[in-house]
Amino acid sequence: MPFLFSKQKIGVGLKGLDPADVARAAGLDPAKLQTDLDSAAVNDRMKEDFELAKSVGLSHTPYIILNGKPIDGPIFKEIGYWDKVADAYWKSAGVERPASAKLPQPPAAIPSTPSPKASP
């Protein structure tokens, strides 16, 4: 959920966020969310998921694993990175990448905007 990732802080996580505000931002019923957060079954499931993640070496979110390899850090935010990953996948499968799976190419350079001229 982009809202939560945008509010997450390194070392702090989501501490300090009001669950009701989070629920409303996500289009959820705040009372139902609080009931779920207080539920032993939900808490047990979250602990189970946390322990599983910890047991396989996941330490934070988002954490992306592609073909068994972790993709971490700023590299996956680079323009064209996912296109390169997709191309490598199709190549390894021995199949040409379908046109429908290709993204439009970004411009080679971002055109500069002329600066406004100062009036005399």
Q: Where are the domains of the chain?
A: 1-59, 63-93
Which segments in the chain show pLDDT lower than 50?
110-113, 115, 118-120
CB 33 within 8 A of CB 8: no
Sign of CA dihedral 56, 59, 63, 67: negative
So what's the pLDDT on residue 115? 47
Mean pLDDT of the chain: 76
So what's the pLDDT on residue 66? 74
Cβ partners under 8 Å of residue 67, min gap 6: 89
Q: What is the pTM of this model?
A: 0.45
